[in-house]
Amino acid sequence: MTGARRVAGAGAVLALGLLFGTTNAAAQTDDEYEKVLPFIGHWDSDVVVPDGQDRGNCGGRTGDAGEKLLNCSLPVDQLPLNARGEAWLKYVDIMQSPTTVECAQLGLPALLTDGAYISASPGRIDMQHPTNGFVSRTIWLNGGGPKPLPGQFFQHGFSTGRFDGNDFVIETDRFTFDPDGMDDHLHMASSVNKKVTERYQLIDDEHLRIIITLDDPTFLTRPFTWAILWRKTQGGPAPAYRSCDAESARREVEFAYPGTKYQDAR
Report pTM. 0.84
43: Cβ contacts below 8 Å, ≥ 6 apart? 115, 116, 117, 118, 208, 230, 231, 232, 233
User: Is 213 exposed, middle or buried, given 0-12, 13-18 or 19+ CB atoms closer than 10 A?
Assistant: middle
- What pLDDT is attached to residue 91? 96
List, as own/partner pairs, every contact residues 75-78 make where C-beta atoms lie below 8 angstroms and the sequence separation is at least 24, other chains included.
75/226, 76/183, 76/186, 76/188, 78/224, 78/226
pLDDT tens over the chain, length 266 residues? 554 444 444 444 444 444 444 444 444 567 888 999 999 999 998 755 445 555 557 988 999 999 999 889 999 999 999 999 999 999 999 999 999 999 999 999 999 988 899 999 999 999 998 876 679 999 999 888 999 999 999 999 999 999 999 999 999 999 999 999 999 999 999 999 999 999 999 999 999 999 999 999 999 999 999 999 999 998 776 777 778 899 999 999 988 888 888 877 65
Say how far apart CA 219 and CA 180 lie, in whole Å: 13
Q: Where are the domains of the chain?
A: 40-234
